[in-house]
Amino acid sequence: MPNALTVWAEPTGTVVPGSVSNAPDIVRVATGLTVRDHKQIVSAFEAESYEMVAGFVLNKALSQLKKQLSTLGMEFVGEMLGRQDLNDDSIPTVSISNYEAIRLAKELGVINSTDAKRLTQHSDLLAHFDNLDSHEAEASEMTREEAIGFLRTCVNSVLGRTDNVAPTDFVKFRSALESRTFKSTDSDIVSLGVTPYFFKRTILSVLLAGIKSRSGAQYEHTLGNIVAIVPALWGSLRDKEKWSVGQAYAEAVNSGESTAVIALKKALMSVQGFDYVPETLRSQTFSAAASAVINVHTAGNNFYNEPAAISALVKLGSTIPWPAFPICMSSIFAVYLGNMYGHTWNAQEDIGSLLQRLSSNQWEYYFNECLPNDHLVLQKLSWYEKPLDRWIGMFAQFDLSKLSIKNKDTKNIVAFSLAGNRSALKLRATSLLNNSQN
């Protein structure tokens, strides 16, 4: 396993020198673009069609990024993203959202964290211009400097690099999970404790997905590895992943898969993990609805599409099941906080009803267990001013002053939020975001 689970490094350095600030010189090093693309980009800058060229280069970069990720196999990409609807016939440029592509590429080391942040912010900016009505669009045009920023980021991160290679060694280890049965004493399994969390989460998702999708020898190896690997990972797993194991057990019981029930029960009993077995399977529906909200929120025309997505989540029931609670709260806060340009007014009534339903126990659970790993919310608090103001206002609106916060990482965030200390809150959120990505 040391070879299979080698921790790859982020791409370093820049393709475009910092002194270069004109389009012809930047596109000259964009090896991922055709000669025709080069000419179109330069012509667009000469014509001052900045929004058009920004959208063109960003689309080119994200499409190429998705194709690079697809070299791992779209079924495997689906497993890493928690997308059961993806298979090897799925078209990457259509099936993977921009938000998913940037997040997964960063976690895999295909692009570095700085470029991931810039690509996300560029995507937000382009969505903002797409959301403007005709009158606002006339008054608020993209500047040349902003368009150059788009071009520089896209070339530096994707279009000018030949070293953006998805980690095929990880695919080999994934295959080993289905071709051999490990023992708990194997050095390979023991070394899992020091691997990055992304590896642990993906290994677990591959094993749990294999219960449903594999047969014959692959199925037997999968079950054997669940018994050996789940206990080895358990102590370092977050609640979301622990709930997924409990969820898999409940599904196996309901479907009468006796061999899977035996394997999962043995793994859970060895770690006293039955606290994470849900009473019902409602969480699947809630999780799918929350994922839809996040994808709508991070895509273009989000202000128009968010109300329907949130409404669908509200209609599922009066309480959020615990297994789906982290992703549901992330989606709710994403729409409540909005982005650098504001928030969707037409979705706020439904958002308010969801937040009003939360008990003190649920608020405390979010701040203690979920917020430290909620990258989407931490990004908003770290990067944008308007979401920061909305967050502080939320503490007064919902009277969150009496919560019992035990998590040392988020205790200060709650205190700074209650005090309205914007600078300290932003600094602490940034630190927590950086730590959660390591």
Lowest mean pLDDT among 117-126, 318-327, 359-368, 390-399: 318-327
Report residue 12's pLDDT band, with 50, 70 and 90 as the boundaries.
low
Q: Report how far apart, in Å, the C-alpha atoms of 246 and of each of 168, 234, 280, 321 are.
A: 30, 12, 11, 13
Give the integer Cα–Cα distance in Å for 149 and 201: 34
Lowest mean pLDDT among 15-19, 293-297, 333-337: 15-19
Residue 305 has pLDDT above 60, yes or no: yes
Residue 9 included in any domain:
no
| Shared-domain flag, residues 61 and 185 | no
pLDDT per position as a tens digit, 373-385: 899 999 999 999 9
- Smallest CA-to-CA distance from 21 within 121, 147, 123, 154 is with 147
Residue 5 included in any domain:
no
| Shared-domain flag, residues 133 and 193 | no
Report the number of distinct structural domains present in the chain.
3
H or E stretch covering 313? helix 302-314
15-29, 122-136, 339-353 — which one is most confidently predicted on average? 339-353
Residue 6 has pLDDT above 60, yes or no: no
Lowest mean pLDDT among 142-146, 269-273, 368-372: 269-273
| Shared-domain flag, residues 155 and 59 | yes
- Residue 272's pLDDT is 81
Domain end among 276, 300, 329: 276
- Residue 148's pLDDT is 95
Lowest mean pLDDT among 127-131, 160-164, 270-274: 160-164
Six-digit token pair at 345? Answer: 């007014």
Domain end among 159, 183, 200: 159
Expressed as residue numbers, the domain containing 82 is: 23-159
Average pLDDT over residues 420-429: 94
Q: 339 in helix, strand or coil?
A: strand
93-102, 246-255, 396-405 — which one is most confidently predicted on average? 93-102
H or E stretch covering 166? none
One-letter amino acid at 106 equals: K
- Residue 212's pLDDT is 84
Average pLDDT over residues 137-152: 89
Residue 232 included in any domain:
yes
Average pLDDT over residues 51-66: 95
Domain end among 276, 296, 326: 276
Q: Report how far apart, in Å, the C-alpha atoms of 120 and of each of 41, 103, 333 are.
A: 21, 9, 18
| Shared-domain flag, residues 186 and 134 | no
- Smallest CA-to-CA distance from 319 within 352, 354, 276 is with 354
pLDDT per position as a tens digit, 176-205: 888 899 888 887 777 777 777 877 888 898
| Shared-domain flag, residues 286 and 431 | yes
Residue 290 has pLDDT above 70, yes or no: yes
- Residue 20's pLDDT is 84
Q: At how many degrees (to 10) do helices 239-255 and 216-234 cross?
A: 140
- Residue 4's pLDDT is 42
- Residue 279's pLDDT is 60
Residue 3 included in any domain:
no
Percent of the chain scored above 90 by pLDDT? Answer: 52
192-201, 213-222, 314-323 — which one is most confidently predicted on average? 213-222
pLDDT per position as a tens digit, 161-182: 876 666 666 677 777 888 899 8
| Shared-domain flag, residues 174 and 260 | yes
* Model confidence, pTM: 0.69
| Shared-domain flag, residues 209 and 325 | no
Residue 14 included in any domain:
no
Residue 17 included in any domain:
no
Average pLDDT over residues 389-406: 91
| Shared-domain flag, residues 308 and 420 | yes
Average pLDDT over residues 7-33: 80
| Shared-domain flag, residues 184 and 206 | yes
Report residue 308's pLDDT band, with 50, 70 and 90 as the boundaries.
very high
DSSP bridge partners of 339: 342
Tell me what the pLDDT averaged over the chain comes to. Answer: 87
Provide the H-helix boundaries in 71-109.
Answer: 74-81, 92-95, 98-108
Residue 318 has pLDDT above 80, yes or no: no
DSSP string for 42-74: HHHHHTT-HHHHHHHHHHHHHHHHHHHHHTT-H
| Shared-domain flag, residues 308 and 346 | yes
Using alpha carbons only, how large is the chain's radius of gyration in Å? 23
Residue 72 included in any domain:
yes
Average pLDDT over residues 32-55: 94
- Smallest CA-to-CA distance from 162 within 302, 15, 347 is with 15
- Residue 164's pLDDT is 60
| Shared-domain flag, residues 112 and 239 | no
Residue 7 included in any domain:
no
- Residue 437's pLDDT is 61
Residue 2 has pLDDT above 50, yes or no: no
| Shared-domain flag, residues 272 and 343 | no
Percent of the chain scored above 70 by pLDDT? Answer: 93
Average pLDDT over residues 114-128: 92
Residue 259 has pLDDT above 80, yes or no: yes
